[in-house]
Amino acid sequence: PKVLGVKLEGKLNDWVAAKDVILKLLSILTTRGNVGWAVEYFGKGVSELTVPQRATITNMGAELGVTTSIFCSDEQTRRFLAAQKREKGYFACGELSADPDAEYDRIIEINLAELQPMAACPSSPDNVKTVAEIAGIQTGQILIGSCNNSGFADLMMVAKVLKGRGINNMVEFAIAPGSREVLNMLAEDGALSDIISAGARILETGCGPCIGQGLSPADGMVSLRTFNRNFPGRSGTTGDQVYLVSPETAVASILTGQITDPRDLPKF
């Protein structure tokens, strides 16, 4: 395949997430015309992203339509594998990175420090606007999970924000932890109790609402989801209005009942 190099510089600001990186790229490349390309992320900004953050970004390469998406392996990779007691595998392979003189068929540069919270509006992952542009839209449902944003770090952030707070009473809220391990870790930490106390439903690990298996929104209801796809009817409702956002944007909106820029969270 042809190789698209995405050069990342800088560091994400508070309340800006890995989800915003891939939504920004979708706004540039769209969901069409990328078949036969591979995306390689490189640059100084890569070292600022954890392995789960990189997984969020590469996961939505499918929405770009590319053949594959890859990051180099580095110290972040080693630390992740060490936490999983798999560090020997890292040393067996060593760091895997592009050659110093690697050439790309096309290069796109993204400064992480300049990104804003983003949202993919109905009904395509590339119909992207900043959250600030659409802030204030009333939402009746907010779901956090899927293969894109259901990891321990994401859900711990949600628990921290919700601790001692209740969700807006006009919002249906549920989470789907990405694995039994994640669920157990949340429970052991006490974070799961904080999320439940705030008013959340806990769903089984799996695709669930992302593919219309439960929690299909009412016709015309705005549903905020940390999922990866919002094509028409995918939620199980013909007239769905699904917005794709980061967990940070989702949890901010849970408190207000409307689409909310998470950078306003400190004001709560």
Average pLDDT score over the chain: 94
- In the chain, where the domains are located: 2-114, 118-267
What's the CA angle centered on 203, arms 202 and 206, to 5 degrees? Answer: 145
pLDDT value of residue 214: 86
Helix, strand, or coil (residue 33): coil
Q: Does domain 118-267 have CATH number 3.90.1150.10?
A: no
With tokens 């990866």, the residue in question is 228
- Is the pLDDT reported for residue 94 higher than 80? no
Q: Is the predicted pLDDT of residue 263 greater than 60, yes or no? A: yes
In the CATH hierarchy, which fold is given to the domain comprising 2-114?
A: Aconitase; Domain 2 (3.40.1060)
Q: With a cut of 90, say whether residue 92 has pLDDT above it.
A: no
Give the span between the Cα atoms of 149 and 109, in whole angstroms.
24
Pick from 3, 204, 201, 238: which is nearest to 122 by CA? 238
Alpha carbons 220 and 192: distance in angstroms, whole number: 31
Q: pLDDT tens digits for 71-89?
A: 999 999 989 999 888 888 7
Query: Residue 267 has what pLDDT?
Result: 61
CA angle 22, 154, 181 (to 5 degrees): 120
The pTM of the full predicted model, rounded to 2 decimals, is 0.94
